[in-house]
Amino acid sequence: MREYIRRTARRLIGTSQATIDTIEPGSIMVAPRRPIDRFDVGAITEVLDLATKIGAVLLDSGTGAIDTGSQIQFVANIYGIEDVDVDVTYNTIVVSARRGATLPPITTMETVHYRSLDFTRLAQVDKLIRRIRDSAITPATAHRMVDAIIAAPHPYPYKVATLAWGLMAAGISVLLGGGPLIALLAFVTTGVTVTINRLLNRIGTPIFFQQVTGGFIAVVPAALVFEGGEKLGFEIMPSQVIAAGIVVLLSGLSLVGSVQDAITGAPITGVARFFELLLMTGGIIAGVGMALRMLSAVGIYLPAITTTTEFAAVDLPARVAAGAFAAFAFALACYAERRALPVAFISGVIGVGVAAGASFIPVGDVIGSGLAAVCIGMLGGLLARRALTPPLVVAVAGITPLLPGLAVYRGLYGLLNDQTLDGLTWAGSALGVGCALAAGVTLGEFIARTLRRPRIVRPEWAHRRRLRRRRRIEW
């Protein structure tokens, strides 16, 4: 058993590197193919167009601007174009190849018009970059491969994704302390929300109004069931259903990418992404607020919020399992590869487990969430060395159960019920937890990239005992 654990740990933190590890500044150890003639405009344009297409898929999937730029430059370098300038902003990629002082540079540009949650597409592009690095495929072949990746349909039907979103909401509601009825209500409410928002997206409705609609739907069914339950003799806590719906709506936003950009040296892109995040969160708040006002106008008043996300020791296994199940369901809803689903489950176990353990220590939600995110980021970086899945998939799935949906709702509830101080406190707590999650993931990935196989220093007594055992075997 000890040998099996040792072998598993060795494979996990082995010397194999993830794609992004091999293209960190100062670590590019590739011999580029024969340099392209600077007068060959067609060949240079073909390579730059390939690099920008790959970068567009990465940026579309939520990859940070710095990592996206590094991978674009890597693709250009591997094909023999060395003097390349890459500029990645919020939704635009510009790549320019210099050809000396006497020739004008060649520039290509790609615009990302939308954001998608298709982790299979991200993983396929990661494999393509690794294949470009390791195999002598031509730019034309790589072009056909990236076009096929972009044009490929989702690996799972919409029904499976909708079911997964509902299961994720059910897991989040159990994580917040809900029972079977709460989980069922969260499942149904989220299924309706996803279906309606998908229809709105097909007719071109701006994402802000989709978030408003989602926030509105998250409240109304919970309030109606709560009102009917009082008359029928059973009681539910509607805040758990509403918070689960808010987490589902928040999970699709680029929280990790926005903070990662701001930390790693792309502040303009980080600010743009963070403003989009705040705007979309504002849409959720607007929808929830409209629903609360409408319900109070017809005489339905939701109870004061008394539930917290603190973990009781007896409930710890069930809540950790619920959080892991929510991370698994989120990865499935985002069309992750099948081999990435167990990894997402493990990241959920680690994230919720660390956050639960931190709740028994008086460190606060912000620090506890940050510690959990650091562990998730390290897990993603280490598993990516074995080419299991891109680190972003593990990171986003792992922190999703920890998103501050309940804090957002409590803040809004306080502001709408003349509890301004409490409302602002909870709103600030939600913002702090969100930033801690994103920053923790960034730090964890950085540690994983710099971590090499550690050399275990044995104590002197263990060394002597090992020598005696060897001598005994030899005799």
Sheet with 106-111, edge to edge strand ranges: 84-88, 92-97, 106-111
Residue 204 CB coordination number (10 Å): 6
Q: Are 264 and 24 in contact (CB under 8 A)?
A: no
The answer, yes or no, to whether residue 189 has pLDDT greater than 60, is yes
How far apart are alpha carbons 447 and 464 in whole angstroms? Answer: 34
Are 269 and 89 a contacting pair, CB within 8 Å? yes
What's the mean pLDDT when you consider all of the chain? Answer: 78
Q: Which residues pair with 109 in a beta bridge?
A: 94
| Mean pLDDT score, 244-255 | 74
Beta-strand runs (E) in 311-396? none
Distances (CA, A) of 270 to 118, 266, 394: 22, 6, 21
258, two tokens: 């926005």
Task: Check the CA dihedral 340-342-343-347 and report its sign.
Answer: positive
Query: What is the chain's Cα-based Rg?
Result: 25
pLDDT at 18 over 60: no
Residue 396: closest CA among 262, 266, 275, 254: 254
Which residue carries 């909870």 as its tokens?
426
Q: Is residue 174 very low, low, confident or very high in pLDDT (cuts 50, 70, 90)?
A: confident
209-232 pLDDT, tens digit per residue, is 888 998 888 888 888 887 777 666
Higher model confidence: residue 392 or residue 88? 88
pLDDT at 49: 92
Residue 71 φ/ψ region, left for φ over 0, alpha for ψ in the -120 to 50 degree band, beta for the rest: alpha
- Residue 418 zone, left/alpha/beta (φ > 0; ψ -120 to 50; rest): left
Residue 281: pLDDT above 50? yes
Say what the pLDDT of residue 307 is. Answer: 44
Distance between the two ends of the chain, CA-based, in angstroms? 27
Q: Which residues contact 67 (CB under 8 A, 6 or more apart)?
A: 20, 58, 264
Instruction: Name, in order, each residue with C-beta under 8 angstroms of 105's C-beta and a sequence gap of 6 or more.
Output: 85, 96, 97, 98, 99
**What average pLDDT does this structure show over 283-302?**
82
pLDDT of residue 163: 92
Give, in order, the Cα–Cα distances in Å from 260 to each of 62, 275, 438, 443: 10, 14, 7, 9
**Cα–Cα distance, 152 to 334 (Å, whole number):** 15
